[in-house]
A = this chain, B = another copy of it.
C-alpha cells in the first residue's frame, strides 16, 4: 500500500485521522485548532459548494457577504445567543503591532487598543440583523433570502480535523419574512434541501427531525437537523435549519409596515452546513483501504493507469488511453491518466484506492493486444476484464451504480443499527453497541439530562417521519407523544 492506514476495527478514531492526513484531505496547522484544507480535500469541498449553491439559487436565494468582525455589544442584544457563543470567541482587541523594545521581534502596540473589542464571527445573526434593519421598511422589501459562504471561528477546546475545528468554512443562510408561516416554510424547505443533498450526493441517509430545547441553536425557537450514522455507531449532526421567530428582529428592532399599514416585527430563519460535511463523508463510507467517494462528489471520477515497460510500449499505450479518456470525458465525466513513470502500478492502485477514486481502468500490454481493459470499482473492490468497445458507456452506468450502491450500503448499515427499545435497562445495554435507538421520552429537560449523564447518549432528534405512536417514557413512565432518536454523537 502507498501509505499505511490504521485498521478501522482496531482504532476508529486513529483510522479517521490517518485517512484525513494520508489521503491528503487536510492537516493541522501551526495555529491551535485551525486546519489546512489541502488541494484534494478542497476539491471535494468545492464540489459540495457548487452543488449546494445551485440548490439554494434554484430556490430563489442570493449570496452576499457580511463582515468578519462583530462588535462585542451586538452579542448582548439577544440573551440566549450570547449565552451560547460568548464562551468560545476569538476577540480582537488591538489593531497594530510595533517593534519590541528588545529589538528582537514584534509586540502588540498598547496605543492601538480598540475602543470596543471585535469578535471574530462564530455565526452572523447579530451583524446581519443589524444590517437588515436598514434594508427592511415595508412588506415589499420581504422576503430577503441571503446566503453567505464564509469562515467562522469557535474556540473549541478539543478539535478534530473537519469535525470540530476552531476555524471552519461554511455557508450560513439568513432569511427575513413577513409572516411566521413563510419563515417556517423556509426552515423546512432548507432542511429538505440538506436531506436531498446528503442522500443523493453524499450517499448518506439522514434522519430529519427537530432538536430538543437543550440542543437547540442559541436564539432559535425551533432547530431542525439532519443526523447521519457513522460506521462506529456514533451519530453526526450534518446540518441544521433554525426557525428564529422574531427574536433577532426584536433584539435589533427590525420592523416592517404590512400591506394593511401596521408595524410588525420581521420573522427569521438561519441555516448552515460546514466543512463538517467532509467528516461525515469520510466516516460514512470509507474502509481500511482509504476513502470511498460517491462519484457525484469525487473530484476525479475515473483514473486510467497504463501498465508499461519502456518508452516504446508507453507511447502506444498512451494513445489508446487518450482515446478512451476522450470517450469518457464526452459524457461529462472527470477522467485522469496516471502516467507517472517513477511508480509501480501496485503503488498507484493503492494510492487511487486511498483517495477514493470511484473507477480505475488499467491497460496492460496484453489488453492492448486483446482489445480489453481492466475495470476496478472502489466501493466493492471488484475487478473485471472487459472489451474496450463501449467501455465509456459501461463506465457511465457503473458510476451511477456505485453512487446508488454506496447509499444503499450506508442505508442498510443504518437500518441494521437502529433499535427500538422500551425499557431503560435495554437502552443502557444497547447504547454500548452504538447506533440509533428509538425510545419514548417524557419530554422533560430533567429526564434528558439524566439519560445523558448516565449513558452519554443525547436525543439526536424528534423525527418528522416514521412511527408516530404515543407511549410511555422508558425512564419515568410518563406519557410520550412519539419515539425520539437517541445516540452517542460527535
Contacts and interface: CB of A to CB of B under 8 A. Distances in A.
A119 interface: yes
Contacts of A337: none
24 contacts: A29-B66, A29-B131, A30-B71, A30-B74, A30-B130, A34-B69, A37-B65, A45-B65, A75-B106, A76-B104, A76-B106, A82-B106, A86-B97, A86-B99, A89-B97, A91-B93, A91-B96, A91-B108, A92-B120, A93-B93, A93-B94, A93-B108, A95-B155, A120-B120
A106 B169 contact: no
A151 B167 CA distance: 13
B105 A67 contact: no
Contact of A95 (B91, B95, B106, B127): B91
Given A35-B67, A36-B131, A76-B104, 15 more contacts: A29-B66, A30-B130, A36-B67, A39-B146, A42-B62, A68-B151, A72-B105, A73-B105, A76-B106, A82-B106, A90-B94, A91-B96, A93-B94, A95-B155, A151-B151
A167 B69 contact: yes
A46 interface: yes
A155 B90 contact: no
Contacts of A383: none
Contacts of A370: none
A88 interface: yes
Contacts of A38: 64
Contacts of A99: 86
Oligomer: number of copies = 2
Interface in A75-117: 75-76, 82, 86-99, 104-108, 117
Which 4 A/B pairs are nearest by Cβ-Cβ distance?
A: A34-B67, A39-B62, A37-B65, A86-B97
A375 interface: no
A429 interface: no
A326 to B, nearest CB: 18
B86 A31 contact: no
A52 B160 CA distance: 33
Contact of A87 (B39, B90, B97): B97
Contact of A88 (B64, B87, B96): B96
